[in-house]
Structure formats: structure tokens, C-alpha cells
């Protein structure tokens, strides 16, 4: 594959400015472009740029072909700090806008609404530059094939790129055509998976893979030992399950140090609850301040499961505060949840969350010194002349230093936090991205349900059901298809594979929390739709887009896990679980074939962090999941008692009367409630108590 050197040079020679622009100002509404008709907050942010932005749609793409003009695709999201910086430096600038308008068809894309478009051009960016990020800026031929892709550029750099590419298109178009062919070929090849006939699911191979994952953990500060540091919830879900399976102390230590240090870090909002997207350092101190729904939904469940395993009240505290944050700041009145809070307020990153020492002294009076000790606050500031609230010393030592009991210290900190929270509420708030996404809301449903299991609070179950009903009523169609987005009463974008996969997963967990089989019926309808409209013809995996969507230059397959697990790995786990619950052997076999397709990648120890959700299915092949059936009039009471225990790779099903589910048939006896512990459809002798059932699983 040949890509012209000058394209690679231009894409990689510029790096993002390390200093935040502190004086970003919005223009008055002198200009208005086609984005004014969109609902995405990110697109609406650019509706008054002098750039003639249009949305990604058939009309805009047809215009590029009719006028034979290059397409300029700029992709970002509402909470993206450097997206805002590039907007202020370049897209609000009339000189830059004139170049873009005269020589290109400029298209703005919200990556959260259109992850399919983002994936294509992000793959191009990785091919050209070896890295990616947002803002993502690509230039393509009129047919959409990319000739250039990069990330953030300062104004003069961006003008230079625009002029060089447009000049080449006019005077030497064959070079751009050659580049487009090479990059497009690379995009197509990126999804080719080297399958192997040999699949060995043994305890020894699993131990080796997980052992490598654990070697990459920072056992002092927690998390994967790299900078910047992302929470990566699914990595630690795998580690939790492995500990449950093996009783491995090293995996428990990795889990505990990570949950504790993240909760103490600046990545966690010590006043209002909720986590930022990542930490720019390796100690969780300095967050990239945007708060994303998908992180917090997953971390709810991770902390709830951590509490199940350890009964550590600190994990419960973090989960409950994060739940409160979601309800308070991201909940739609009908039950869905908004996408994110911006990193910036008043044009400054993190301004809403940080403190001057003088402010704390004024607000807290005599308690100020203790508070500053507790949250590692310094006179000069622990970050850019400001202070981020984070805990570096053991609270027990702080209490001892100030001659307080730990209970007295906790109450002092709680009272002080309330005072600071009241003061913070008077500040100008970060921007809210108020679109509602199906897949991210499904992650929240799953998190709420894991909290319900761990803490037994029916409010968490009610929140999960409310959000589920919101998605069913507003985003699920009668034919089993889904819409991805919701805003102002409208759902305009067809669902992608992650929307289906994550919602199916949430429905399966919801069934396990109330034994209402209507949730399985909905999940089954969605699975059938996915198999019909997303299945790749020549592979065991599923495309990210359905066969009803307008085609892009490449139909991509998402299979590697990241901050959010890959849609294919979620579907593979769904098919396995739902196949077992409904006794659909074809789905179980399909799940096995999907795992087999990625086996050569997932079984490489060094790659474990990017296949952690696949490896949970791998773990199921090593040790068959328990199927725990609770049947009888007291089924709900026993279910709730059992759910408070961490059950690893187990499925729980049940009924208070007769049930049509194959695993429950013939198990109901009037007047008794029994628990059946089964594996591979083979059940041990039924027992009457949860403790007896747990003992059977241990044996």
C-alpha cells in the first residue's frame, strides 16, 4: 500500500498545543449554517460558525459529487476540550472559513451520533499518522474516500494543509486518487481477522493470559500502568470474575487498589460524585474534566460488584454518590440519561471543579486546615495555580494528626463538602450534551441493576425499569429495530450494533433481577433482528451497521474491546447467555463461532486488555457457567438474598409458579421453594437455602 510521503508528513508534523487557551470567546451570531436544523448539541455548537457546515447526509454527499469538490469531514463531540479549541482558533475565523468554503464541502459529524462514520475516518487517521484522537479532521474525494486525516491543528497549520490539499486536487489529482486507493484499501484490511481452526480453552492458557494482564497493573496507584490512565471497567470485570473462579489473591489486589485509588483521585468528583473520562497522569490526580455517561454507567456496576466481593463500605459510597450524580445532573424527566458534561466552563478547562486556597479558608473557617490536609491542597495550588480535590494520605493518619476519631473526620469532611457544593452550584456550569443514546443508556441500566443486587435498594431497580421503558417506548420499533438517539421528542438515526448488543445485555440482566419473562421476549426480538440485518456474509461476526443503512465506503466490523466493550464481544456473550436461558443451541453455537473467529487475537497474552470482554466468554469455556434456578412461591426473596453475593459467570433464573423456560420446566412444586444449581443443563440435588446453594457452587 502506497500513501504519499507528503500526506503522512503533513498529518504527523503538527502536535497539539500543550497550553490551554484561557481566553476563548464565542462570536456573536453573525453567521448561521445548515447545522441550525440539527438536534446534536455538538453540531449546534458550530451552527453559527462562518464555515458553511452541513451534516452528514445523502443531500450533502450528493452535493459533493455534483460540484466535484473535496469533502472536509470534521468529527468531534460536545465534551471534547480540543474540539472547542480548534473551533475557536480556526472554525470561527473568517479567513479559514473562506478557504474551507471555497475549496471543500465542509461536514460536521458528532461521533457519538455517528460512530460508524467516525470509525471509518479514524481508521484512516491511524493508517496515515499511527495515532488518533479528537477532533478528527479528514479530507476525502467527492465519493468519500479519504486522502488525508489528522487531529488537532493550530490555525496556521490548518491553513497550510487546506491550501496544499486543494492545490494538489486542482493541479495533480492523480496523486490524491492514489492516496485514496491506498488508504481505503488499508481501511478494508483493518477488519480482516486471521482465524484459526485450533482453539484451546484450558485453565493453563487462561492463567497465562490473565497473568499478563495483571503484570500490566500499577499495584501502587491502580489501573493499567500507562499514561494517560483510563478506568477501563471491562478489564476489571474480567479480573473480578477470574478472582471468583480461582480465588487468586493477585487479581483481588489489582481490583481493590484500582477501585480505592480511583475513588480517592481527582478523576472522581469528590463533591458531586461521578467520574471524569480519564486522568492525564498516572496517579488519577488530574482529570480530563468531561464526564461521560458511558464511563459512569459501567463504573456503577464495577463498584457495586467490588462491594459484593469485599463488603468494603467505601465502594458502596462511591457507587451511591455516582448514582446521585446521574439522577441529579444527567437525567431526562422521562427516564433517559443525557450523554455528557463538558470539560470546560467559561472557556476554561476544569474551572467549575477546582479551588483556590483562599476560597476554602473563607468558606470553611476553622475546619479549613484539616480539609486541605485531607484533600492534598497547597497554598500555590496542586494544578495550574488551582487545587483539585484528591486524597493522597490515609484518612486514618489525617484523623490521628488532627486528634480526631475517623468518625469525627468523616462528618467534618461531609459537612465541608456540602458547603463547597452549595458554593459550586453558584458557578457557571459546564455545557450539557442533552442527547440521549440507546447504547449508553443500556450501560446505565446494567449499572443500576448491579447496584440493586449489591445493596438491595428498590430505587435502583425502579431507575433501571424506568430507563428500560424509556428506550422501549421511544427507541424500539415494532419490527425489533432500534433508533440510536433521542432529542426533543425525535429519534432520527438508525441503531448500530452496540445499541442492540448493550440493550439486549441490559434486558437479560433485568430478567435476572425480577424473573419477568417479558424482558427475555424483547431481547429475543432484538437478537433476531440483529441476525437478520447485521450478520456478515462471510464471517462469524456482525457488521457495525445494518443492511438497511446507507452504505459508507467500507462496512466495518467492531471486534476489539476498548473503554466500552466491542459490540461483537457483547453480542457473543448475549448469544451464549440467552441461548442458555431459552435453550437455543443455534445461538450458543453462534457464540462459540464468534469467539473462535477472534481466538488468535484474544488468546495472545499481551492483547488481553483489548479483548477483556471476549475473555469473559473464554472463561466460560474453561469453566461452564452455573445456571441457578429458583422455583416456588418464595422465589423473589431467595433471588434477592442470592443476588447480594458475587456469582461470577453465573446465570440466575426463576419463577414463583410454572414457567415455559426449558431450564425451569418440571421444577415447580406447590408449597416449596427450591434452588437448583446446574451446569451444562445438569442439576445437583435441589436445596432450600442460599447458603446451601453457595456451598454447592464452591464444591
Q: How many CB atoms lie within 10 A of CB 426?
A: 7
Pairing of the two strands 626-631 and 650-655: parallel
Confidence at residue 634, expressed as pLDDT on a 0 to 100 scale: 96
- What element of type H or E holds 433? strand 432-437
Alpha-carbon gap, residue 656 to 636, rounded angstroms: 8
Confidence at residue 633, expressed as pLDDT on a 0 to 100 scale: 95
Q: What is the mean pLDDT of residues 536-549?
A: 92
Got the DSSP string for 134-176? SSEEEEE-TTS-EEEEE----HHHHHHHHHHHHHHHHH-HHHH
Q: What is the mean pLDDT of residues 77-105?
A: 93
- In 49-182, the DSSP E strands lie at 54-55, 70-76, 104-110, 136-140, 146-150
Q: Which residue has the higher pLDDT, 604 or 275?
A: 275
Under 8 Å between Cβ of 417 and 480: no
Q: Which residue has the cell 425451569?
A: 664
pLDDT grade for 605, boundaries at 50, 70 and 90? confident
Residue in 140, 52, 64 with CA at minimum distance from that of residue 100 = 52
Q: Which three cell numbers stand for residue 440?
A: 449508553
Of 7-21, 117-131, 411-425, 570-584, which gets the smallest average pLDDT? Answer: 7-21
**Distance (Å) of CA 50 to CA 87, 116, 392:** 11, 27, 47
| 268 torsion bin: left (phi>0), alpha (psi -120 to 50), beta (else) | beta
Under 8 Å between Cβ of 349 and 20: yes
Q: What is the mean pLDDT of residues 272-281?
A: 97
Q: Does residue 487 have a pLDDT over 90?
A: yes
Confidence at residue 5, expressed as pLDDT on a 0 to 100 scale: 44
pLDDT grade for 23, boundaries at 50, 70 and 90? very low
Alpha-carbon gap, residue 250 to 219, rounded angstroms: 9
List, for residues 328-344, the tens digit of each pLDDT value.
Answer: 999 999 999 999 999 98
pTM above 0.85, yes or no: yes
Alpha-carbon gap, residue 78 to 484, rounded angstroms: 17
Q: Does residue 415 have a pLDDT over 80?
A: yes
List, for residues 655-689, the tens digit of each pLDDT value.
Answer: 999 998 998 988 998 889 999 999 988 889 999 99
pLDDT grade for 3, boundaries at 50, 70 and 90? low
Confidence at residue 221, expressed as pLDDT on a 0 to 100 scale: 97
Q: Does residue 28 have a pLDDT over 70?
A: no
Pairing of the two strands 136-140 and 70-76: antiparallel
Q: Which three cell numbers stand for residue 203?
A: 485453565
Amino acid at each position: 500500500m502506497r500513501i504519499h510521503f507528503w500526506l503522512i508528513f503533513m498529518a504527523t508534523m503538527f502536535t497539539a498545543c500543550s497550553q490551554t487557551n484561557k481566553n476563548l470567546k464565542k462570536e456573536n451570531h453573525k453567521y448561521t449554517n445548515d447545522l441550525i436544523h440539527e438536534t446534536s448539541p455538538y453540531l449546534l455548537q458550530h451552527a453559527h460558525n462562518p464555515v458553511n457546515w452541513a451534516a452528514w447526509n445523502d443531500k450533502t454527499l450528493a452535493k459533493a459529487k455534483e460540484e466535484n469538490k473535496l469533502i472536509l469531514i470534521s468529527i468531534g463531540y460536545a465534551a471534547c476540550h480540543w474540539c472547542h479549541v480548534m473551533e475557536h482558533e480556526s472554525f470561527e475565523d473568517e479567513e479559514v472559513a473562506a478557504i474551507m468554503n471555497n475549496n471543500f464541502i465542509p461536514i460536521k459529524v458528532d461521533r457519538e451520533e455517528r460512530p460508524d462514520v467516525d470509525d471509518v475516518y479514524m481508521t484512516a487517521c491511524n493508517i496515515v499518522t499511527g495515532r488518533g484522537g479528537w477532533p478528527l479532521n479528514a479530507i476525502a474525494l467527492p465519493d468519500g474516500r479519504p486522502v488525508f486525516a489528522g487531529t488537532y491543528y493550530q490555525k496556521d497549520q490548518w491553513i497550510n494543509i487546506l491550501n496544499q490539499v486543494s492545490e494538489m486536487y486542482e493541479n495533480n489529482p492523480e496523486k490524491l486518487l492514489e492516496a485514496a486507493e491506498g488508504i481505503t484499501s488499508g481501511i478494508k484490511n483493518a477488519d480482516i481477522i486471521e482465524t484459526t481452526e485450533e482453539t484451546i480453552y484450558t485453565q493453563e492458557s487462561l492463567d497465562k493470559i490473565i497473568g499478563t494482564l495483571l503484570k500490566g497493573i500499577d499495584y501502587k496507584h491502580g489501573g493499567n500502568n500507562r499514561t494517560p490512565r483510563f478506568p477501563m471497567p471491562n478489564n476489571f470485570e474480567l479480573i473480578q470474575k477470574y478472582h471468583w473462579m480461582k480465588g487468586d489473591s493477585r487479581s483481588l489486589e489489582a481490583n481493590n487498589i484500582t477501585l480505592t485509588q480511583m475513588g480517592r483521585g481527582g478523576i472522581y468528583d469528590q463533591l458531586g460524585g461521578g467520574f471524569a473520562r480519564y486522568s492525564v497522569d498516572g496517579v488519577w490526580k488530574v482529570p480530563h474534566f468531561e464526564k461521560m455517561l458511558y464511563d459512569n454507567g459501567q463504573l456503577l456496576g464495577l463498584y457495586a460488584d467490588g462491594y459484593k466481593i469485599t463488603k468494603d463500605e467505601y465502594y458502596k459510597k462511591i457507587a451511591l454518590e455516582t448514582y446521585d450524580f446521574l439522577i441529579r445532573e444527567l437525567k431526562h424527566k422521562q427516564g433517559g440519561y443525557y450523554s455528557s458534561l463538558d470539560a470546560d466552563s467559561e472557556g476554561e478547562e476544569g474551572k467549575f471543579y477546582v479551588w483556590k486556597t483562599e476560597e476554602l479558608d473563607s468558606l470553611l473557617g476553622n475546619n479549613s486546615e484539616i480539609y486541605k490536609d485531607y484533600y492534598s491542597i497547597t497554598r500555590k495550588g496542586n494544578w495550574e495555580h488551582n487545587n483539585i480535590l484528591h486524597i493522597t494520605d490515609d484518612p486514618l493518619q489525617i484523623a490521628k494528626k488532627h486528634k480526631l476519631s475517623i468518625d469525627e473526620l468523616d462528618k467534618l469532611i461531609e459537612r465541608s463538602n456540602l458547603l463547597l457544593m452549595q458554593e459550586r452550584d453558584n458557578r457557571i456550569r459546564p455545557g450539557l450534551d442533552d442527547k440521549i443514546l440507546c447504547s449508553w443508556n443500556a450501560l446505565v441500566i446494567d449499572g443500576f441493576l448491579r447496584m440493586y443486587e449489591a445493596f438491595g435498594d428498590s430505587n435502583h431497580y425502579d431507575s433501571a425499569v424506568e430507563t428500560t421503558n424509556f428506550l422501549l417506548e421511544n427507541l424500539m420499533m415494532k419490527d425489533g429495530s432500534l433508533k440510536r438517539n433521542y432529542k426533543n421528542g425525535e429519534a432520527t438515526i438508525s441503531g448500530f450494533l452496540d445499541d442492540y448488543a448493550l440493550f439486549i445485555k441490559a434486558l437479560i440482566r433485568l430478567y435476572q433481577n425480577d424473573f419477568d419473562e417479558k424482558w427475555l421476549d424483547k431481547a429475543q426480538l432484538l437478537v433476531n433482528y440483529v441476525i437478520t440485518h447485521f450478520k456478515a456474509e462471510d464471517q462469524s461476526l456482525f457488521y457495525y451497521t445494518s443492511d438497511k443503512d446507507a452504505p459508507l465506503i467500507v462496512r466495518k466490523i467492531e471486534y476489539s474491546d476498548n473503554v466500552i466493550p466491542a459490540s461483537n464481544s457483547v453480542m457473543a456473550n448475549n448469544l451464549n447467555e440467552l441461548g442458555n436461558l431459552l435453550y437455543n443451541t443455534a445461538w450458543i453455537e453462534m457464540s462459540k463461532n464468534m469467539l473462535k473467529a477472534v481466538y488468535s487475537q484474544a488468546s495472545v497474552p499481551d492483547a488481553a486488555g483489548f479483548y477483556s470482554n471476549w475473555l469473559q466468554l473464554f472463561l466460560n469455556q474453561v469453566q461452564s457457567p452455573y445456571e441457578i434456578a429458583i422455583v416456588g412461591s418464595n422465589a423473589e426473596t431467595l433471588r434477592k438474598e442470592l443476588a447480594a453475593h458475587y456469582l461470577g459467570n453465573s446465570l440466575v433464573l426463576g419463577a414463583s409458579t410454572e414457567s415455559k423456560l426449558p431450564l425451569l420446566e418440571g421444577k415447580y412444586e406447590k408449597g416449596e421453594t427450591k434452588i437448583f444449581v446446574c451446569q451444562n443443563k445438569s442439576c445437583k440435588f435441589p436445596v432450600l437455602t442460599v447458603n446451601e446453594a453457595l456451598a454447592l457452587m464452591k464444591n
